[in-house]
Structure 1
């Protein structure tokens, strides 16, 4: 009887984390008598290349990875959305340090992951349970994510992809016209979105730095 095999891609820019996750996955394989073949990507470009080469059963994806202009990906949400669009049978587990309710809700809306773990919740046993659950009977959410879902079950506000790209370009020092050109919108539309973001983040000042500081605090940059 052949051993069941799963292919897993770990996407995180911290080698210590990916090495720890890989060790945990190996232990899970021994416990479940299955074979896990694990590939590690420390950047978006590496992840994109890996996804082109092989079909993965599961991608364990960190959200807070440095943006990559070459791939057009500015956050883990973008890669998650790309996987959802192009690799429909691949399951996704989000792993992040962000625990802000708005940020969690935004990630859920953008990616619709099969699993979602806040890193402060993760233990070895939690990670093993989450991976096996998502592979066999998804979904799986850690306790912080479950609490957030309950908090926002009737809230319909999320930052969309354009809002996140606007914040990204602002953080890089781009002016209003440059951002408008990058996003294919008018200066007026960009200004309106900036004003809405100030209201959402409760920023009274018109200074971009105040808006960016609050966006970073909430985990959107």
Structure 2
């Protein structure tokens, strides 16, 4: 049986590079079939098409920062990973990113639990097919920058969960506190409590939203 591999990246040369590297690796004997997409909309349509045809997507390489599909609120490779989890629960997902801010990395790992999470700055032509082979063999792989990012969070001994990370990320994106319940499934009072807890940990309770965001950036959390 063949191996259906979804590759999503908005740089066609990168997609072709991944295909070449995998086609000439030890995976070649598995009869590889590549599904190429360059944005969220294309990828969404291909994922749906495979589901309709009762075909399976076995493996997905998803760049996190890709052009969104605004109509359906699919804004990144992370949203595509979430979709794949629902439609093809056995698909092994590898996320690739240029960004390794601690909170973002932590939020993605908790939400998606990807089989592979790679900072693009950590890989080369030699390493890439080896990592893909490991993931297909059932291993979990995080590249050194991603591991370091998680360590930073532990070192700072920040005690909060995914919702807290989301609050900080949304505030940094310019979302007003009053609108946070539209993005996070919590009541306004629960959000206020969490925000106060974040302020206690980062600012010892003093300062406004701007101070909070500045401090989080200084700590490398955003």
With the length of structure 1 as denominator, give the TM-score of the two structures.
Answer: 0.74
Q: Is the 8 A contact 1:12 1:61 kept in 2?
A: yes
Name which of structure 1's ranges 110-119 and 7-16 shifts more when overlaid on structure 2.
7-16
Question: How far does the alpha carbon of each residue in 1:43-68 deviate from its partner, in whole angstroms, 9 at most, with x for none?
Answer: 22222221111221101112223544
Secondary structure of the residue aligned to 2:126 is helix
- Give the whole-Å Cα distance in 1 for the aligned partners of 2:47 and 2:102: 30
CA RMSD in angstroms, aligned pairs only: 3.7
1:44 match: 40
Deviation, structure 1 residue 149: 5.2
Residues 22 and 165 of structure 1: CA distance in aligned 2, closer, same or farther (over 3 Å): farther
TM-score (ref. length: structure 2)? 0.73
Separation in 1, partners of 2:221, 2:76: 11
Q: CA deviation at 1:152?
A: 5.9
Q: Does 1:59 align with 2:60?
A: yes
1:73-100 deviations in Å (ceiling 9; x for gaps): 3443333233223311111011111233
Residues 165 and 210 of structure 1: CA distance in aligned 2, closer, same or farther (over 3 Å)? closer
Tell me whether 80-89 or 100-109 shows the greater mean CA deviation. Answer: 100-109
Shift of 1:121: 0.8
Match of 1:139 in 2: 140
CA shift, 1:124, in A, is 1.0
Q: How does 1:105-116 map to 2 (within 5 A)?
A: 105-116=106-117
Greater shift, 118-127 or 67-76, is seen at 67-76
SS in 2 for 1:60: strand
Q: How does 1:177-216 map to 2 (within 5 A)?
A: 177-181=178-182, 183=184, 185-196=186-197, 205-208=207-210, 211=213
Contact preservation (8 Å) 2:202, 2:212: no
Which residue does 1:81 correspond to in 2? 82
Which SS does the other structure have where 1:132 is aligned? Answer: helix
The partner residue of 1:26 within 4, 23, 27 is 23
Instruction: Sort the Cα spacing of 1:85 and 1:36 in 2 relative to 1 into closer, same or farther, 3 A.
Output: same
How many pairs were matched up? 215
In the superposition, relative to structure 1, how do residues 76 and 201 fare at CA in structure 2: closer, same or farther (>3 Å)? farther
Structure 1: gaps of 5 or more residues: none
CA distance in structure 1 between the partners assigned to 2:96 and 2:160 by the alignment? 19
Please name the residue that 1:8 is paired with: 5
Shift of the 60–194 alpha-carbon distance from structure 1 to 2, 3 Å rule, reads same
Q: What SS does the aligned partner of 1:70 have? A: helix
List gaps (5 residues or longer) in structure 2.
51-55
SS in 2 for 1:45: helix
